[in-house]
Structure 1
Amino acid sequence: MIPVEVVRGDGPVILGLPHTGTYVPADVRARLNDLGRGLADTDWNIHKLYEGLLPGVTTVRATFHRYVIDANRDPSGASLYPGQNTTGLVPLTDFDGHDIWQVPPSGGEVEYRRETFHVPYHAALEAEMARVRAQHGVAVLYDCHSIRSRIPFLFDGVLPDFNIGTNDGATCAPAIVGAVESVCRAAEGYSCVTNGRFRGGWTTRHYGRPEEGWHAIQMELAQSTYMEEAAPWPYLHDRAERLRPHLAEILKQLETLARTGDLT
């Protein structure tokens, strides 16, 4: 099993896809309970949603499921959101706070999974960021995510449609977040927020080094914008086709800024 798939493009934008994978090794699956084996907390259909939106884009996609180990969590195990409900490096519960394991992983198992899955994914992502930065003088990582729009365990009420994360502006140049915000705010019938409940995961925070020409921004989409939010999690073509032009415009704006804008 290859833990990461890279499709290399010649442009300045990289799409990170840490949560679309559904591979679970047999020994890990045997330790999950029935709820866990349902893999509900997948970023379902995200790779399909973004496919073909930007010519020349590079994609870095984890093939393993977040219940094996979460590629968007700090490898030290430190919480991204201290004091708030969240899931960890190897989640012990689902997004609703329910146990997902019959036999939770030991510390040794977590370390094995970190080395086997988390490390290769980030080695590939870091290599692509360095390659693109060397080629273009700048690299822009757009980290692709989605989540159900209603999860009381994680947040109150209904999540906005577009959730932009820059760790309070630390992970990218102001021009980048400004461009993304402008597209989202102009998208009729959609809501958006910047650095709300989701401010960017470990990936965005780790690779967002604007002073080095490494820019990172996270987009957490409400799944209701393009799919059914219940098993078997079907992709809804009409909703997706309404959303895709806005996502394409975001990526186009990022590419234009990287090629012509002053992001140093």
Structure 2
Amino acid sequence: MDYRFKQGSIPLLVSMPHVGTDIPDDIAATLAPCGQVKADTDWHLEQLYGFLDEMGASTLAARWSRYVIDLNRPPENTNLYPGQDTTGLCPVDTFGREQLYQPGRAPGDAEVRRRLAAYWRPYHDRLRGELDRLLALHGRVVLWEAHSIASVVPRFFEGKLPDLNFGTADGASCDAGLTERITELARADGKFTVAVNGRFKGGHITRHYGQPGRGVHAVQLEMCQSTYMDETFPFDYRPDLALLVQPVLRRMLQAAADWARP
């Protein structure tokens, strides 16, 4: 299976497109050593969001590493942040600008098309199908895009990121009232710094599927990995840190589900 999927009962779908760590053997054979480290993975999010089953939320998590293909990029490989540096649909370098492939072995156009069909499309077909099912049941649904990133990545931004970075495509993917409610909860206990539509405004999934007029309200949360794990190899999960942020996550997701209910 190309993903891990659990069907829930409430109007909430949590998508985790960058948690995958598997790399098919034929692709792994073309990678440089840094590709095997998989440093740019959104590590441990399924564990961090482990309360979702109890809530009754639907969850969709990638199996394949973003080094195989990035599920949160448009199939045309257009830049979501024009004028800014970013990695592409089939990344050829890491966030630290290390070359992912052995010399002469980066994927060409035909290989990118093959990966789109084999690895990108199944995830998006499941995502679309589950959103449609939840819409039919509830009339309104929240799509929560769960991501994480190292708190300092000079390639993409200066200094340290805020702890919790919300993106709603500058308000186009989500009702303003929902955004206000969840960010209010994020700031409530004062433990975490918060940004809305700052460096991260939402990737392809948030922008493409978030259609408030059709009843789908999409929010991306890009968390600093320093809030719940060690940011250096071997990227260990930190239960002591996670216990501080998990209650905030749960309150926000519960509020989102409650907001979506008729």
TM-score, normalising length: structure 2: 0.97
For these two proteins, the number of residue pairs brought into alignment is: 259
**What residue is the counterpart of 1:98 in the other structure?**
98
**What residue is the counterpart of 2:217 in the other structure?**
215
**What residue is the counterpart of 1:88 in the other structure?**
88
**What residue is the counterpart of 1:116 in the other structure?**
118
Q: CA deviation at 1:259?
A: 1.0
SS at match of 2:183: helix
**What residue is the counterpart of 1:129 in the other structure?**
131
Q: CA deviation at 1:113?
A: 0.5
**What residue is the counterpart of 1:238 in the other structure?**
240
Aligned 8 A contact 1:96 1:154 in 2: no
Q: CA deviation at 1:61?
A: 1.1
Query: CA separation in 2, counterparts of 1:47 and 1:5?
Result: 10
Percentage of identical aligned residues: 42
Q: CA deviation at 1:189?
A: 2.0
Q: CA deviation at 1:98?
A: 1.9
State whether structure 2 residue 76 is matched by structure 1 residue 76. yes
Q: 1:183-238 deviations in whole A, cap 9, x for unaligned?
A: 11113221000011110000000100000001100000000000000111000001
Written as runs of structure 1 = structure 2, the 5 A alignment for 1:195-210 is 195-210=197-212
Aligned 8 A contact 1:35 1:100 in 2: yes
Gaps of at least 5 residues in structure 2 are none
**What residue is the counterpart of 2:9 in the other structure?**
10
TM-score, normalising length: structure 1: 0.96
**What residue is the counterpart of 1:36 in the other structure?**
35
Aligned residue identity for 1:85: D
Moved over 6 A (4+): none
SS at match of 2:220: strand
**What residue is the counterpart of 1:155 in the other structure?**
157
State whether structure 2 residue 31 is matched by structure 1 residue 65. no
Aligned residue identity for 1:176: L
Gaps of at least 5 residues in structure 1 are none
Query: CA separation in 2, counterparts of 1:7 and 1:189?
Result: 31
SS at match of 2:60: strand
Query: Which residue of 182, 195, 198 maps to 1:180?
Result: 182
Query: CA separation in 2, counterparts of 1:44 and 1:170?
Result: 28
Q: 1:12-31 deviations in whole A, cap 9, x for unaligned?
A: 00000101011100110111
Query: CA separation in 2, counterparts of 1:254 and 1:193?
Result: 18
